[in-house]
Amino acid sequence: MRIRLLILPLIASVLVAGGCSGSSDSTVDPAKLQARLTEAKKTIDDAETITISLATKSLPSGVTGLLSAKGKGNHSPAFAGKVTVVTGGTSLGAEVVALDGQVYAKTSFAPVFLTIDPASLKAPDPASLLARDTGITQILAKTDKLTQGGQSRDGKDVLTTIKGILPGSLVRDIIPSAAADQTFAVTYRLDDADVLRDATLTGAFYPQGGDVTYTVVLTTSDTPVTIEKPARR
């Protein structure tokens, strides 16, 4: 009897701990999930400055495309940071400034900033990702088939997972080579204040490349950032 009394609390504690596991709850009203994503979008769209990281661990062999874009920007839109692309099987990193519809890059091979066409490298204009209406936050308002996943811990924070499906025509605004006629899986993680911690997108970003997964991290600040056209001497 004593052993049974000891086992019961142990089972109960395991079940409680499972509340922060990967278990899902598909019964949550999708409208409530959308309300949380809408709040997350508003927080980002209202910020003066956004720090963005858009990256994948690797690209399939033979694919030319974006490996990572990391930097700061605003909703004018403008961006300054570092972008790494893969082309010809080689990673190429560059300092990048993007504003007013132009993208300027300076690599280790060039002493000055040069105007480039990111679409030729299957990469986006990084500034365009920060536009309020057509940038990356639009996915938060346009995700289909929302379901709630499990909860997980990130340090002291408990994060809620929300999963859904994105049309390829929308994802193409992020990575221009994404297959417009296919769908992409997306997973968001939000904290208790409905602040987006990160998002992962998986699907056919490149022709004949199979599925690729990008992780997006957006953080905000109320301190404005000034980004100017680089000198080209």
User: For the segment 204-230, what is each residue's pLDDT rounded down to a tens digit?
Assistant: 999 988 999 999 999 999 999 999 999
Distance CA 182, CA 169 (A): 8
How confident is the model at residue 26, as a pLDDT? 66
Does pLDDT of 34 surpass 60?
A: yes
Higher pLDDT, 19 or 184: 184
Give me the residue label for tokens 């904290």.
Answer: 191
pLDDT one-digit tens code per residue, 39-89: 999 999 999 999 999 999 999 999 999 999 999 999 999 999 999 999 988
Identify whether the C-beta of residue 104 lies closer than 8 Å to the C-beta of residue 227: no
How confident is the model at residue 2, as a pLDDT? 46
- Residue 20: pLDDT band (50, 70, 90) is low
pLDDT over 90 percentage in the chain? 77
How confident is the model at residue 208, as a pLDDT? 81
- Residue 31: pLDDT band (50, 70, 90) is very high
The residue extents of the domains of the chain are 23-221
Distance CA 144, CA 167 (A): 8
How confident is the model at residue 22, as a pLDDT? 52
Does pLDDT of 19 surpass 70?
A: no
How confident is the model at residue 24, as a pLDDT? 59
Does pLDDT of 16 surpass 70?
A: no
Q: Which CATH fold topology does 23-221 show?
A: outer membrane lipoprotein receptor (LolB), chain A (2.50.20)
The average pLDDT across 137-166 equals 95
End-to-end CA distance of the chain: 85
Tally of residues, the chain: 233
Distance CA 147, CA 3 (A): 40
pLDDT one-digit tens code per residue, 94-118: 999 999 999 999 998 878 999 999 9
Count of beta carbons in the 10 Å neighbourhood of residue 126: 26
Give me the residue label for tokens 């504003």.
Answer: 99
- The residues with which 165 forms a beta bridge, in sequence order, are 144, 185
pLDDT one-digit tens code per residue, 112-144: 999 999 998 889 999 999 999 899 999 999 999
Q: Is the peptide bond before 77 cis (omega within 30 degrees of 0)?
A: yes
